[in-house]
Amino acid sequence: MSATMAALNLPRVIGHRGAADAAPENTLESFAEAKRQGAAWVEFDAKLTADNAVILLHDDTVDRTSNGRGPAAQKSLADLKALDAGAWFGPSWAGARIPTLAETMSELARLDLGCNIEIKPCPGRDRETARGIVAELRRIWGGNLPAGDGQGGRLPLISSFAYESLLETREIAPDLPLGLLLEDDPADWRQRAERIGAVSIHCWDQKLTAGWAHDIKAAGYGLLVYTVNDVDLARRLFGWGVDAVFTDAPARLLAGLG
C-alpha cells in the first residue's frame, strides 16, 4: 500500500451512498444511518446542476430517487432543493432533500465520517464536473486543499468511472488521492492508473478475480470492491488482499466480519 493510501486510514467497510439498504441513498439521513450502523467512511456521488452547484445524485435524472422528473443537468439548485428525495424509499423518509456537497461535508464532519467522493458527471460534463467539485472543496476548506487532513480530519478519496474527470482532477488538484473505478478488467488498467497517479483501484465484485486482485496489490495499489452486501463474499475478498468493500448494509457486514 502506498504512503498516500496508508495515510487515508481506510476502514474495511465503507457505506455505499450512506447506508442504502436502510435509508434513501445520497442523503444526509443516509449518512447518519451509516454512522448509526457503525460505518467510519461513506461513499457518495456528486454532480453539477444547471447553475453549476455541486449536489449529490447518482443518476442522470431525478426520476428514480425523488418525486421529480427529468435530467438533473437541466435543473437549478433551487429546483432540486424543492424535490422530496426520501418518500420514494419509504413514508418515514418523506421530506429528505438532495444535499449539496457543502452540506454533506459539514454533516460528515459533525458525524466524524471519512468519505469517498465519486465524480458522477452528467453526459458531456466530465471535466467541468471535476472542476466544480474541486472548486467547492477549496471553498469549503477556505481556499486551499489541505496537504493531509480535510474537514473533519480526513482527506476525501476521489474516484470516478469518467476518466476525463480523473485526468482533470489530477491536473488541478495534484494532492487529492484518486481511485480508478472499473467495471471490467481492461488490459491497460495499470497504464490508466499510472497516468492519473491513482492510489487505489475500485473493482466490481462480479468481475474481480483472485489473480487480478493479486496483480493490483503487487503493483502497489489499494484495492476496493463494490457493492458487497454478503458477509461470505466479503471474507473471500479480504482473503484475496482487498483493502475495503463498499456496502449498502454496513451493520450486517461489520457484525458478520467481527
Active-site residues, by number, are 16, 58
How many whole angstroms separate alpha carbon 29 and alpha carbon 24?
7
Query: In this structure, which long-range contacts are made by residues 80-85, counting pairs with CB atoms below 8 Å and at least 24 apart in sequence?
Result: 80/49, 80/55, 85/24, 85/26, 85/27
Q: How far is C-alpha 61 from the geometric centre of its chain's CA atoms?
A: 18
Count of helix runs (H) and strand runs (E) in the chain: 10, 9
Matching residue, cell 471535476: 130
CA dihedral 136, 139, 144, 150 (to 10 degrees): -70
